[in-house]
Structure 1
Amino acid sequence: MWIMYVFGLTTCFGVAIGSCYRQNDITQGLLEMLTKMTKGQPSIDSKTRPVFFASLTKRPTTVHAKEIVKFDDVRVNRVKAYQPSTGVFTAPMAGIYTFNCVISAENGNKFGYQLNKNDAMYVNGYTSDANYGSQTTSVIIELKKGDRVYIKHRHPKTETIAGNQFTYFSGYFLQE
């Protein structure tokens, strides 16, 4: 009986030790896989990940021909990549970003705009002339460090859009 006890104890001990080694192998494998995915660099944490949200406060907001819309009420602006004085987001790092905007026309007016990457149109938008018609735009853009993204009025005449937080612009970093 004593021999059975010793045999069982050593077998269980061997299984337990073997499990530890297997678990360390799995953990090491996961660590190596994560290191390869991030190319040996630490991942971007929530404090260094570019993200912003800004809206217009003035109602109505007059926008002149070909003018960049300056969203003045900045609620979130991690790493200060969006500048309300210019209306421009400048990519602090290369990667894939997503941008969203909602443009609301004022009192049944139309408003034509475009989302620009650097100085080129990326997508167009156009509000309807319905009472407070609005347009939502969502895009995914691959940016290099220093690339600029902004909303620009695209018509050759002055138009108005609704402020009072009815019109806003946001963006954030998705991945490298």
Structure 2
Amino acid sequence: MTLVGVVFVSYFCLVNSQTPFNVASDCCEETAENLQTVLQRLTSLEKAVTTLKTENSNLRQNSSGLAAMQQELMEIKSKQQPVAFFAEMSQDLTNPSTGQTVVFDQVLTNVGNAYSPTTGIFTIPVTGTYNFNVVLSSPNNNDANHYMHFFILQNGRKIAYLFLDHNTDYWIHTSSSSVVQGTKGDRVWLSVGVAGGSHVLAGHRLGEGEIHTHISGFLIQAD
């Protein structure tokens, strides 16, 4: 019996000291038994509360662990997300100016929807290693002094260079590709570097069914 129980029983027996000994003794024993039962219940409840607290703490830890696992799963899924695009120019681009963005408005492939046929800009959706490729064509030209130079830009930084110069009695065709490390949010596009004279960047020609000028890119490996 705890100290509280002993004191309570002693007090109860003292108060009832005028009661005959055998009656008082029975009363004290009954009270002690009742107190003992209450104390046992209290002890049991304390253990139950302690158990519940432990279980609650474990649940919180498990919940935090589950949230971390879900976040990790989302990151893994994002890294496995396929990214690829392929687009062409549907019309000829005549005498483009220096600094102009070449817009490939006809989209054939856009897995991940990272390329915009409106702006001509590809926005990197997942950090990783990418490949970009550009093919340009220009028809025969009467201006022998014409020239067009182009750059593939990543956030304004040159990552590839192409040029179409001085073709007169024949078509000219050029291409370039680049493998770069890209960070989510980076922008990639084709820009006119310098241009002079009279010139045409060939788009898709009706009746020919040929894709003369196009851009493509894809995610090689996510970080």
CA offset digits 1:141-169 (Å, max 9, x no partner)? 10000011111001155742011120000
* 1:172 correspondence with 2:211: no
* 1:125 correspondence with 2:162: yes
> TM-score, length-normalised on structure 2?
0.56
Question: Is the CA contact 1:125–1:135 (under 8 Å) kept in the aligned structure 2?
Answer: yes
* Residue of structure 2 in register with 1:147 after alignment: 186
Are residues 60 and 42 of structure 1, via their aligned partners in 2, closer, same or farther at CA, if it must alter by over 3 Å? closer
* 1:41 correspondence with 2:76: yes
- Secondary structure of the residue that 1:96 maps to in structure 2? strand
Give the superposition deviation at 1:106.
3.0
* Residue of structure 2 in register with 1:73 after alignment: 106
Question: Is the CA contact 1:105–1:111 (under 8 Å) kept in the aligned structure 2?
Answer: no
Question: Is the CA contact 1:96–1:141 (under 8 Å) kept in the aligned structure 2?
Answer: yes
Are residues 121 and 43 of structure 1, via their aligned partners in 2, closer, same or farther at CA, if it must alter by over 3 Å? closer
* Larger Rg, first or second structure (1 or 2): 2
1:161 alignment partner AA:
L
Which protein is richer in strand relative to its size? Answer: 1
* Residue of structure 1 in register with 2:151 after alignment: 114
**Runs of 4+ in structure 1 displaced over 4 angstroms?**
42-45, 156-159
* Residue of structure 1 in register with 2:67 after alignment: none
CA offset digits 1:106-160 (Å, max 9, x no partner)? 3235321001011121221112433221111111010000011111001155742
**Structure 2: how far apart are the matches of 1:58 and 1:122?**
26
2:121 alignment partner AA:
V
**Structure 2: how far apart are the matches of 1:63 and 1:73?**
18
1:149 alignment partner AA:
V
1:134 alignment partner AA:
H
Which protein is richer in helix relative to its size? Answer: 2
Are residues 60 and 120 of structure 1, via their aligned partners in 2, closer, same or farther at CA, if it must alter by over 3 Å? closer
- Secondary structure of the residue that 1:63 maps to in structure 2? coil
Matched residues, number: 136
* 1:86 correspondence with 2:119: yes
**Structure 1: how far apart are the matches of 2:190 and 2:97?**
13
State the superposition RMSD in angstroms: 2.2
Question: Is the CA contact 1:90–1:146 (under 8 Å) kept in the aligned structure 2?
Answer: yes
Q: Which structure 1 residue ranges, 5 or more long, are not aligned?
A: 1-37
- Secondary structure of the residue that 1:83 maps to in structure 2? coil
**Structure 1: how far apart are the matches of 2:94 and 2:82?**
30
**Structure 2: how far apart are the matches of 1:78 and 1:51?**
5
Give the superposition deviation at 1:41.
2.7
1:41 alignment partner AA:
I
CA offset digits 1:13-62 (Å, max 9, x no partner)? xxxxxxxxxxxxxxxxxxxxxxxxx9x934855xx311100001113544
* Residue of structure 2 in register with 1:58 after alignment: 91
**Structure 1: how far apart are the matches of 2:164 and 2:110?**
27
